[in-house]
Amino acid sequence: MSGAPNRQYRMLPQLGEFVGRDQIQQLLDTYPADLVTEASRRVIARLRSHLQQGVMADEKLEIAIEQLADSVAAELAKDRAQSLRSVINATGVILQTNLGRAPLGNAAIRRIEEVAAGYCNLEFDLASGERGERGSSIEKLILRLLANERSISVDADAASRSALVVNNCAAATYLALNTLAEGGEVIVSRGELVEIGGGFRIPDVLRKSGAHLREVGTTNRTRISDYAAAITPATRLLLRVHRSNFRIEGFTERPSLQELIHLGACASVPVFEDQGTGCAVHLNEYGIDDEAYWPDSASSGIDLVSCSGDKLFGGPQCGILVGKCTIIEMIRRNPLYRAFRVDKLTLAALEGTLSTYLDGDRESLPVIRMLAMQPEEVQRRCNRLADALRSSALRAEVVATRSVVGGGTTPGASLPSFAVALEHLSMSETTVAARLRGLDPPIVGRVCDRCVRLDLRTVPEDQDDLLIRQIGMEFNGSSKLEE
Ligand SMILES: *Cc1c(COP(=O)(O)O)cnc(C)c1O
């Protein structure tokens, strides 16, 4: 040991004795014993290492020792804050990847509850009593939804198409490229060599899949003739990637999906679209133009389409592949499918989400409800929140703002909305934002113009009172909510 004199080291409590103290014992009401012991060990060790690093006055050390129990409590609270918790998303970003993307609808939650606690027929055919195919019931629901949306007969479609569910769209795309194009060439437009976020870059995924990238066209213009000219005997696939998170404006050109499909058919090269969003509603009904509609892609005669389950579709995290039966079967037989397949809880949630669509009840899905919410409705709720929170210390104004869909889905598009802008007399906006995140449940807002903005479009209405209570108690010491 070095630094402090031995006498000071001897002032530190022994772990066994320390853990027996009343103050520490009280923590056992809230936390498991092993966590309390572990946190105590860390806190004492930290003080010891302070002593090693330099001289500390006896009085200062005594104070630090007196405060050890508080430090343990703070340490435990910090650990708990880092566990997975539900938070209130008041950012106005409907699909926020950092906040878990799509909240699930009630049907999906019910299905998870039903399946989670016991056994289920995940890969078991109840009619024959033999092994069944994972996801076989889901496949029928996906095809039915796509057929309904396009007003075509399910039977016509089901004969030639099937579907497969994997862990996410990145896995679906990787699996598709690896199955269809390993060792061969994939033709893709330079305008679609995108990075989706979280390190998902199309050129990197292609390389890892064992396929060779053949870029055609330019960033802003690619013609069908560019694809045609690049086809050689080594070509395995024509790839189309949805420009999820950016827009190219001005002097631009891109062949239609139909042109690509036609070219693929003539050259006997399959066409695969990474559609991404899984959007199964017409977004123009909600004031957002120009958004690719998943059922259009999936039923266009294309060979294969991938999309996410937890973006605009509003379901659990998963990747959905829809395509020609022969292609889906090849993918299912790829040994890597085993590494990417989904679990029973995901299938249960996806089934619940699909039945919500099939029952014509899509606006009960949180994502669709938030898209559909009228700005006047958000404004009415903001007025109530601001009136209840406004005090001599806290300014609360209702301001017009724009909500965005997010999650890499509708670049540049936004929805008119309203927010409560909070400004505290003596705290900076970053402090206010941090205090909001420290509440239980944490509230995540957006810092903007020296205020913290809470856009209520992304907050479930039944949590308005919770917000009023928690924020009121935190900044005004009371809540104006009549109980
Ligand atoms: C979001 C997105 C992905 C990645 O989807 P995950 O489900 O997050 O893996 C891939 N491709 C496109 C076009 C996307 O928009």
Residue 411 has pLDDT above 90, yes or no: no
* CA–centroid distance, residue 407 to ligand 1 (Å): 9
* CA–centroid distance, residue 254 to ligand 1 (Å): 21
CA distances to 120, 126, 136, 155, 354 from 132, in Å: 12, 8, 8, 22, 21
What's the half-sphere exposure (Cβ side, CA atoms, 13 Å) at 35?
Answer: 14
Q: What is the mean pLDDT of residues 354-383?
A: 97
Residue 1: its pLDDT value, please?
A: 52
pLDDT class for 466, splitting at 50, 70, 90? very high
Q: What is the mean pLDDT of residues 359-378?
A: 96
* CA–centroid distance, residue 207 to ligand 1 (Å): 17
Residue 396: its pLDDT value, please?
A: 98
Q: What is the mean pLDDT of residues 34-49?
A: 94
d(C-alpha 179, C-alpha 441), whole Å: 44
Give the pLDDT confidence of 248-257 residue by residue, as tens digits: 777 788 899 9
Q: Counting atoms of ligand 1 from 1, which one is nearest the CA of 309?
A: 7
* CA–centroid distance, residue 381 to ligand 1 (Å): 33
Residue 412: its pLDDT value, please?
A: 75
Give the pLDDT confidence of 199-224 residue by residue, as tens digits: 788 889 999 999 999 999 988 899 99
Long-range contacts of 17-24 (CB under 8 A, 24+ apart): 18/44, 18/68, 21/69, 23/69, 24/69, 24/72
Tokens found for residue 466: 């919770």
How much of the chain, in percent, has pLDDT values that exceed 90? 76
Residue nearest to atom 14 of ligand 1 (CA): 276
Residue 157 has pLDDT above 80, yes or no: no
pLDDT class for 53, splitting at 50, 70, 90? confident
Bridge partners of 296? none
* CA–centroid distance, residue 383 to ligand 1 (Å): 37
Residue 303 has pLDDT above 80, yes or no: yes
Helices (H) and strands (E) in the chain, counts: 21, 16
Closest residue by Cα to residue 413 from 189, 243, 239, 255: 243
Phi, psi dihedral angles at 257 (to 5 degrees):
-60, -40
Give the pLDDT confidence of 173-189 residue by residue, as tens digits: 999 999 999 999 999 99
Q: Counting atoms of ligand 1 from 1, which one is nearest the CA of 171?
A: 9
d(C-alpha 105, C-alpha 101), whole Å: 13
Residue nearest to atom 5 of ligand 1 (CA): 169
Which stretches of 362-469 are assigned E, i.e. beta strand? 394-406, 414-424, 443-444, 446-448, 451-455
Residue 482: its pLDDT value, please?
A: 54
Which of 308, 340, 409 for mutating ligand 1's site (highest number of atoms within 8 Å of CB)?
308
Q: Counting atoms of ligand 1 from 1, which one is nearest the CA of 198?
A: 8
Q: What is the mean pLDDT of residues 417-423?
A: 98
Residue 154 has pLDDT above 70, yes or no: no
Which residues lie below 8 Å from residue 323, measured CB to CB, with a gap of 6+? 161, 162, 163, 272, 302, 303, 304, 305
pLDDT class for 468, splitting at 50, 70, 90? very high
Which residues lie below 8 Å from residue 250, measured CB to CB, with a gap of 6+? 220
* CA–centroid distance, residue 78 to ligand 1 (Å): 33
DSSP string, 162-199: EEEEES-HHHHHHHHHHHHHTTSEEEEEGGG--B-STT
Phi, psi dihedral angles at 446 (to 5 degrees):
-120, 130
Bridge partners of 309? none
When mean pLDDT is compared across 22-31, 81-90, 237-246, the lowest value belongs to 237-246
* CA–centroid distance, residue 101 to ligand 1 (Å): 12
Q: What is the mean pLDDT of residues 84-105?
A: 95
d(C-alpha 29, C-alpha 33), whole Å: 9
Q: What is the mean pLDDT of residues 105-115?
A: 97
Residue 97 has pLDDT above 80, yes or no: yes
Asked whether 109 and 116 are in contact (CB, 8 A), the reply is no
Tokens found for residue 411: 């670049």
d(C-alpha 402, C-alpha 369), whole Å: 16
* CA–centroid distance, residue 240 to ligand 1 (Å): 13
Q: Counting atoms of ligand 1 from 1, which one is nearest the CA of 409?
A: 15
Tokens found for residue 291: 């958004």
Q: Counting atoms of ligand 1 from 1, which one is nearest the CA of 101?
A: 8
Residues having CB within 6 Å of any atom of ligand 1 = 168-170, 173, 196, 200, 241-242, 244, 274, 276-277, 308, 319, 408
Tokens found for residue 1: 């040991």
Residue 155: its pLDDT value, please?
A: 59
Q: What is the radius of gyration, based on Cα positions, of the chain?
A: 28
Q: What is the mean pLDDT of residues 363-371?
A: 96
Residue nearest to atom 6 of ligand 1 (CA): 169
Residue 483 has pLDDT above 60, yes or no: no
The 3-state DSSP composition of the chain as helix, strand, coil percent (nearest 5) reads 45, 20, 35
* CA–centroid distance, residue 428 to ligand 1 (Å): 37
